[in-house]
Structure 1
Amino acid sequence: MTEPKYSLEEIRTRLNELDDQLLRLLSERRQMSLEVAKSKVQTAKPVRDAEREQQLLAKLITSGEKKYQLDAQYITKLFHSIIEDSVLIQQSYLQNLANPELSRKPIARIAFLGAKGSYSHLASHEYFSRKNTELVEMSCDQFKDIIKTVETGHADYGILPIENTSSGSINEVYDLLQHTSLYIVGEITLPIEHCLLATSDIHLETIKTLYSHPQPHAQCSEFLGRLKNVRLESCISTADAMQKVRELNQPDVAAIGNATSGKLYGLQPIQNNIANQTENHTRFILVARKAVDVSGQIPAKTTLIMSTSQEAGSLVQCLLVLQHYGINMTKLESRPIMGNPWEEMFYIDLECHIDSISMQSSLKELTKLTKYLKVLGCYPSENVSPTMLNLDK
């Protein structure tokens, strides 16, 4: 057995030095990304250049493998994160130019569901993390309270979960959007990492009561089905469930929530990765009283709600309009119209800028085909798709 060249302390010292260098270089690269955004103001080029990103990634993989013995998967995963950060920074800069009144507000009041540590709370911090905005946090007990808090001007923004990859659409939120005067001004998708939390390291078979929000209960149904004689108790959020377990401080109660948030309440994870799907994500929307202007250089989404006549093929006619103008639909959701039996309101997410010729032409035709049509908002698409590259070549 060969003796190590360095002592453990020397190795750790060197690793710390290298980590510091990496942080400095990442900071410098981020600043250069901002300079790229400034140059694009003059040229009006879009934020994303797929060909340039592919060439960059291919070059990095080749260089990393030949010069530094780094494998392609490692390089790809690392630079996907770096490219995503660069895109979001550039988008934020261009959005501030398009909405100067927002960039002058260093403080934002944000309404979210549940107490601190809820997934909505985490999503609000993630959304504003690149916007150099200090948050004034406003906890709400119900989705309708979030809407009301923003409508009355007590909060600048509200953040609402709209759909989950495991449990599907959150119908209550869709129903509220049908009647509010608020606009969708942003979106963010958050990885949901459910785990079982308790005040001490207890065994699964000792749990008698499990607290959480109904959505995590649904998203972890397969795991919960394997537990025996456990009573499920619903709370207004995962954070409130964790708070409840902390207050009870009993060896037979647990909560479903996020491990990082659990630390806020003195809880420890008993079992990780308990969701039905390993890739469990929730999409959140940000709502405000005033619509935002979206820079034409930024990938945008437009969300519509509409109702059609009860005649056969009415919805198909509307969808054919979108197809004719080459507009990609990413979401179609139907909800009943209260007071109008058997009639439905359709919610449609479109990958298109509201000011584009195709979108404006579509809206003119859709207005003629529908009984009701409203634009809920046009907003930057904050979900940055990974740069695609065929590594088998």
Structure 2
Amino acid sequence: MKKIAIQGIEGSNHHIVADAFFSEQISLDKCMSFDALVDSLLTKKSDCGVMAIENSIAGSIIPNYALIDSNNLHIIGEHYLKISMNFMALKGQKIEDIKEVYSHPMALLQCKKYFKNLPHIKLIEDKDTAEVAERIQKNQLQGIAALASKEAAQIFDLEILAADVQTIQNNATRFVIIQTSNSVIAEEDINKASLKFQLDHKRGSLATILNVLSDCKLNLTKIQSLPRIETPWKYSFFVDVTFEDYKHYAKAKSIMNIMAEDFKVLGEYKNGHA
């Protein structure tokens, strides 16, 4: 049985993704931070990890790019999850009874608009969505609510006071599946790659690389820059590309390896987008 490191506990979005991605039965290593998740992989406590990397509303989770890169982790797959945020509390509570809502900062950000109409409720950042749901049930917390998945409400026997309170209904988070070694995926099944490179701070250097991707028939689906702490005003670029033919990607990879500094393949995998 594969052991999968997730951020959070049962009922969290990471747990939902782990169940959806792995067809076989899995066991969980429940981590309360992304740093702990990475440690679980590096110490061989877990075989794979599930890590949120970007949200369609809130954008990139930038520290996670750095965690993958600095720990030489490999992306072996991805999964897109439609996010459902539900306002939940102990059974018998009403919305007017709630004084505070605790949840992950990203969850609070995604539901800000809903709570503008409930000024009596204070929003408080917490480590994990489902963990708050568990705590409410365990400690029988009155006047306290969580923002979490419908699965969390079911697991921890809470009542949903309002369902799908996220600002944008078509709200999805992209999760990557990571491990310490590269996976062996058949070349014909690979149609997406995550790459990292650095460029000289001079005119046209990024445009030149982007032209290589275009000339090699690659579709750029994501570009994210991160400052290099040790070299002020120099940036690392993280890009995701999709392609129909691995040969086109292989050609682009060989050119970029020559043109860019510190070129690195973070993962080659199957596009998980529906």
Query: TM-score normalised by the shorter chain: which range applies?
Result: over 0.9
- Does the CA contact (< 8 Å) of 1:219 and 1:275 recur in 2? yes
1:371 aligned residue (244, 261, 270) = 261
Instruction: State the secondary structure of the residue aligned to 2:86.
Output: strand
Percent of aligned pairs with the same amino acid: 26
Alignment pair present for 1:232 and 2:126: no
Alignment of 1:29-68 (within 5 A): none
Alignment of 1:52-91 (within 5 A): none
Match of 2:216 in 1: 325
Match of 1:381 in 2: 271
Name the CA distance, whole Å, in 1 between partners of 2:152 and 2:197: 39
What one-letter code is carried by the residue in structure 1 that aligns with 2:157? G
Alignment pair present for 1:300 and 2:194: no
Superposed CA offset, 1:111-153 (max 9, x none): 001111111011100111xx3x221210011101111211221
Q: Following TM superposition, by how much is the alpha carbon of 1:266 offset from its aligned partner in structure 2, in angstroms? A: 1.5
| Structure 1 runs of 4+ with >3 Å offset | none
- Does the CA contact (< 8 Å) of 2:69 and 2:266 recur in 1? no
Name the CA distance, whole Å, in 2 between partners of 1:313 and 1:227: 50
Instruction: State the secondary structure of the residue aligned to 1:178.
Output: helix
Alignment pair present for 1:175 and 2:66: yes
2:168 aligned residue (263, 277, 290) = 277
- Does the CA contact (< 8 Å) of 1:146 and 1:158 recur in 2? yes
More helix by share: 1
Match of 1:266 in 2: 157
Superposed CA offset, 1:22-47 (max 9, x none): xxxxxxxxxxxxxxxxxxxxxxxxxx
What one-letter code is carried by the residue in structure 2 that aligns with 1:352? F
Superposed CA offset, 1:283-307 (max 9, x none): 1100012212322432521110111
- Does the CA contact (< 8 Å) of 1:208 and 1:231 recur in 2? yes
- Does the CA contact (< 8 Å) of 1:201 and 1:270 recur in 2? no
Instruction: State the secondary structure of the residue aligned to 2:67.
Output: helix
Q: Following TM superposition, by how much is the alpha carbon of 1:232 offset from its aligned partner in structure 2, in angstroms? A: 2.0
Instruction: State the secondary structure of the residue aligned to 2:188.
Output: coil
Structure 1 residues 260 and 314, CA, compared in 2 at 3 Å: closer, same or farther? same
Alignment of 1:123-142 (within 5 A): 123-128=17-22, 131=23, 133-142=24-33
Q: Following TM superposition, by how much is the alpha carbon of 1:359 offset from its aligned partner in structure 2, in angstroms? A: 1.7
Q: Following TM superposition, by how much is the alpha carbon of 1:380 offset from its aligned partner in structure 2, in angstroms? A: 1.4
- Does the CA contact (< 8 Å) of 1:314 and 1:369 recur in 2? no
Q: Which stretches in structure 2 are left out of the alignment for 5+ residues? A: none
Match of 1:286 in 2: 177
Match of 1:122 in 2: 16
Name the CA distance, whole Å, in 1 between partners of 2:20 and 2:36: 22
Bigger relative contact order, structure 1 or 2 (CA pairs below 8 A, ≥6 apart): 2
Equivalent residues, number:
274
What one-letter code is carried by the residue in structure 2 that aligns with 1:184? I
Q: Which stretches in structure 1 are left out of the alignment for 5+ residues? A: 1-106, 385-393
Alignment of 1:180-199 (within 5 A): 180-199=71-90
Superposed CA offset, 1:30-89 (max 9, x none): xxxxxxxxxxxxxxxxxxxxxxxxxxxxxxxxxxxxxxxxxxxxxxxxxxxxxxxxxxxx
Name the CA distance, whole Å, in 2 between partners of 1:220 and 1:143: 22
More strand by share: 2
Match of 1:243 in 2: 134
Larger radius of gyration: 1
User: CA RMSD for the aligned pairs?
Assistant: 1.6
What one-letter code is carried by the residue in structure 1 that aligns with 2:136? V
Match of 1:257 in 2: 148
- Does the CA contact (< 8 Å) of 1:211 and 1:245 recur in 2? no
Match of 1:25 in 2: none
Alignment pair present for 1:361 and 2:251: yes
Match of 1:113 in 2: 7
Q: Following TM superposition, by how much is the alpha carbon of 1:227 offset from its aligned partner in structure 2, in angstroms? A: 1.7
TM-score, normalised relative to structure 1: 0.67
> Once structures 1 and 2 are overlaid, which stretch shifts more, 335-344 or 212-221?
335-344
